[in-house]
Amino acid sequence: MPPLQDRFKVYGLIRRAVEKNHFLHSLVVKGGAVHDLPPAPARAGGSPEEFAVYQRTESPELKKDWSITQALLRRVKQETDARGVRQVVLYVPTRAELHPEEWSNAHLPPDYDPGEVARRLVEICQAEGIPYIEPSERFRETARQGPLYFPHDPHWNAAGHHLAGKILAEYVQNSWRRAQ
């Protein structure tokens, strides 16, 4: 069987963009999707790298990063539309976004906002006509019953994955009913 990049053109497009973009590169590597991309150059600044996307003040680099994100989502929408498939974006909130004490413990500058990434993604999805699912409130509510993330890891545990699956299933069911 040919490698993934030979079978899916959009994979190659996304991979090239990720290799060239520090923001996307760090998201993909931290998410565990790939391990073999070349290391991206470090970003200057005193704040933890993983929080840079939460800046309300838009630096030229951050503006470029968000433009690339929008272009990638637009391209994926074009590809899915061409195949008669509906694209949807399910936002993945970080634990720090959902828990004020964790956000406070990160000691970030005042122009960092835990809602900034979701806000920007909503704007992009609205501009591109892409359905957007914002699960943060459901994650906050459900987290009161027990943890949804691993304690020393930014990933969802089984309960977090279960909730995300439930939210997606509800979206698909409701979309299907509306289409009937």
Longest dimension (CA), the chain: 53
pTM of this prediction exceeds 0.85: no
Higher pLDDT, 10 or 127: 127
pLDDT of residue 87: 93
| 122 close to 134: Cβ distance less than 8 angstroms | yes
- Where in the chain are the domains? 4-179
In percent, the amount of the chain with pLDDT more than 70 equals 73
pLDDT of residue 48: 60
SS3 of 111, please?
coil
- What confidence tens digit (pLDDT) does each residue in 64-100 have? 999 999 999 999 999 999 999 999 999 999 999 999 9
Among the listed residues 31, 119, 10, the one whose alpha carbon sits nearest the alpha carbon of residue 74? 10
pLDDT of residue 40: 37
Task: Output the CA torsion sign for 141, 110, 119, 18.
Answer: negative
- What confidence tens digit (pLDDT) does each residue in 16-25 have? 666 666 666 6
Higher pLDDT, 56 or 32: 56
Fold of 4-179: Rossmann fold (3.40.50)
Token pair of 74, please? Answer: 């637009």
pLDDT of residue 151: 85
